Chain A
Amino acid sequence: MRYFFLLLKRSRVLLYFLLLESLAFAWIINKRSYQRSQFLSATTEIKGNFQGLAAQTKAYLNLKEENEQLARENVRLRESLDESFIFQNFGADTINSSTYKQRYTYVDAQVINSSHFKVENYILINKGRLSGLEENMGVIGPSGVVGVISNVSKHFARVIPIINPNLRISAELAQDGYFGPLRWLGENYRESSIQDIPPYANVKSGDTVKTDGRSSFFPRGITIGWVKSTRLQADQNFLEITVSLSTDFAKLRNVYVVKDLWINELDSLNMRP
């Protein structure tokens, strides 16, 4: 113990210097957004390398359940393929296939770290800039919307999930077509809420809530969850809807990153939120 104090005394100048420097850097990182994003991108890379290993082991243990989930998703996708539909031509009309242009492509990735019990939750995935990922790309899971990428490093990316109060996306009631901002209130990771729905909307519990394509993060019609209950907002003019989320963030493993191929064209019109 004596030697410890001796060491402390001998390096007091260095310690004082480090204290002052860390105060200055805390100031910088808290207040300057460019430096903040550089810092986050560096820490994302380091954190990702450490946690990738642990996630690999965990993924192996969950293999059975993941396989079932992927198989279910395959079935759903196969059902929506062209070959799943019967094409009947009555001779009168032609189909011009060039009217359908691809807008979205997907990159698959695995979750290597995530939190769902905190207020400001984050998810780390194992693909980064080298796989073509960029900031503000949407992320979806096998059962629905997951979140939006906030920081990208070379091999990893950090996702703000919809269970983080800093992320707001636009949500639509599939039956009625009314839309409003989806905002997480920071309590239960299975539930979120939509504000500003007009009171005359005919909302029943069990109605599907989907993305509405107004934000360029996600294609239209990706499931967010189901209506659980409605109540009048504090301002008495609009409804607030509690949504039970379709994605279970406690067991999320495989995700898909949505790449919007038309993002530049939309950007040039300032259509992004």
Chain B
Amino acid sequence: MNLIKSIFGLLALLFLQIFILNNFLFDGYLNPYIYIAFILFLPPRSSVFYTLSLAFLIGAIVDVFEGGYGVHTAASVFIAFLKPLIFRIFRAGKNELSESSDVKQLGLFRSLMYVLTGLFLHHFILFSIENFALDNLLPLLMRSLYSSLFSFTFVLLYQLWNYRR
């Protein structure tokens, strides 16, 4: 039952990303990417192989539909690899690990910071790959910051909608 629920959640997220969010460029250049939230919200005990494969699959789907040719795939696999590390940083001081989702375990503030960090890293990696050079680093950082804040609001909205169900 849980599996069906999460597959449905993934499909809804991808649908939202591909058919709605990708068609709008807010304020000229802000494009929210919320599909990575699915990777970030995976249970912390799930196997890394599983997470990496799933990230590859999700990124590839977004790439195929958006014509990104591998950019999203590379960025989301990277985040899937970094996820345990980011999670461990925000879990510091809390030893209890349960099978429940990250949000319940970390407390509200920490989980929000965790998601925001994950989103920022994902956007930064994504834009760096699109740039493919490390000159003009500052505009890149600013763009990642604004875009990730923007995506963050969408992720919050999505989560609210998800919890009410």
Interface residues of A (CB under 8 A from B): 13, 16-17, 20-21, 23-28, 30-32, 34-35, 38-39
Contact = CB atoms under 8 A, between A and B. Distances in A.
Interface residues of B, number: 19
B132 A38 contact: yes
The main secondary structure of chain B at its interface with chain A is helix
A32 B81 contact: no
Nearest to A14: B81
Contacts of A30: 69
B132 A24 contact: no
Contact of B71 (A26, A28, A38): A28
Given A31-B70, A35-B132, A24 B77 contact: yes
10 contacts: A13-B52, A17-B77, A20-B56, A21-B74, A24-B73, A27-B73, A28-B71, A35-B129, A38-B133, A39-B132
B69 A31 contact: yes
A15 B48 CA distance: 12
Interface in B39-82: 48-49, 52-53, 55-56, 59, 63, 69-71, 73-74, 77-78, 81
A28 B74 contact: yes
Contacts of B70: 23-28, 31-32
Contacts, number: 53
Given A16-B48, A20-B53, 9 more contacts: A13-B81, A17-B77, A20-B56, A21-B74, A25-B74, A27-B63, A28-B69, A28-B70, A30-B69
A24 B74 contact: yes
Contacts of A31: 69-70
Contact of B49 (A16, A24, A38): A16
A24 B52 contact: no
A31 to B, nearest CB: 4
Contacts of B133: 38
A16 B52 contact: yes
B35 to A, nearest CB: 15
Given A24-B70, A27-B70, A17 B52 contact: yes
- In this complex, the member of B55, B78, B132 whose beta carbon has the largest number of chain A beta carbons within 10 angstroms is B132
Contacts of A27: 63, 69-70, 73
Nearest to B67: A31
Contacts of A17: 52, 77, 81
